[in-house]
Chains A and B, each alone.
Chain A
């Protein structure tokens, strides 16, 4: 009995250590999205300077699509840009852009320089819509299903691997 009592603190320590070890494998900066399986919040963004089509939540109904939050100031966005361009060329999935916190003209200049993968682009220079979407940084991409519900949020750039392993299967499944 005495043995057991003496071992208890060690056992407790090991248990806590294991819990922390598991916890350390998780990335606390990746906040899970509260929007999953909920309808896309309503928004209606004007076009960015140089374009004539803005982006509204109503534009998306009826098809599986991606909403990509980007900015000309965002370095990681440049990393995923070739992948988005390729996807738009292949017509793999419609991609809609939300230009976050850019000065007038900056977004258009960036797209002119690097290419434009977006069907429509909304101007969120005020940063209000991205807060409704629960965005914490760029790039972030939302997968929207046919009914207009958010099904997945990709935090960080979409690499080829992310596309092949996560997004493409998901989109194919959502398409039925």
Chain B
């Protein structure tokens, strides 16, 4: 036993472990620093940094209609590049954030918004998680209340006690 402990904390052994796990740990740490790559190229960007910042913020909220799980900011599709350019043209021409987004929504529909609007037809979509938690909680409350209200089994009388003792003794 003593020998085993000594082996584990031996400096040679420790060095070997770091050499083996070190690179893996480093790679895993780097994963934490990963962020999605943005597809905006330098020749697309607006000269005015404030306008460019607005454009980039809006792009993250718009869907690429070709690669439909990607945002306009992330997608490499040529159509996405054109849509980004048009978005920037709108902003450069002085459109507000709302108007620039409305330009694309007018042509592609609500689907182009990554975050659905909060309105009548999306009410169920937005509130369903909360509803599910509330309903689940109510269901759980009912169930627990029923459990606690259950009666304990009736206590044994003397004859049954004696039988129980006999069975237990036999088993032991």
Contact = CB atoms under 8 A, between A and B. Distances in A.
Interface of A: 2, 5-6, 8-9, 12, 28-29, 31-35, 101, 126-128, 131-134, 136-137
Interface string B106-127: 1111010000000000000000
A131 B89 CA distance: 13
Contacts of A9: 139
Given A31-B108, A31-B111, A131 B86 contact: yes
Contacts of A101: 78
B81 to A, nearest CB: 8
Nearest to B78: A101
B40 interface: no
Q: Which of A5, A31, A32 has the most CB of B within 10 A?
A: A31
Nearest to B105: A34
B78 A132 contact: no
Interface in B126-155: 135, 139, 142-143, 146
B60 to A, nearest CB: 19
A66 B78 CA distance: 25
A33 B106 CA distance: 10
Please classify the interface of chain A as helix (H, G, I), strand (E, B), loop, or mixed, using the class held by over half of its residues. loop
B161 to A, nearest CB: 33
A101 B85 CA distance: 15
Contacts of A131: 79, 82-83, 86, 107
B45 interface: no
Contact of A31 (B65, B78, B83, B143): B65
Given A5-B139, A32-B109, 14 more contacts: A5-B143, A31-B65, A31-B108, A34-B106, A34-B107, A34-B109, A128-B82, A131-B107, A134-B108, A136-B66, A136-B79, A136-B108, A137-B66, A137-B79
8 contacts: A5-B142, A5-B143, A29-B68, A31-B108, A35-B107, A127-B78, A134-B107, A137-B66
Contacts of B143: 5-6
A64 to B, nearest CB: 23
A132 B82 CA distance: 11
Contacts of A6: 143
Q: Which of A5, A29, A34 has the most CB of B within 10 A?
A: A34
B139 A136 contact: no
A2 B135 CA distance: 16
B107 A136 contact: no
Contacts of A134: 107-109
B75 to A, nearest CB: 12
A34 B68 contact: no
Contacts of B68: 28-29
Contacts of B65: 31, 136
Contacts of B66: 136-137
Interface string B46-80: 00000000000000000001101000000000110
Contacts of B106: 34
B44 to A, nearest CB: 13
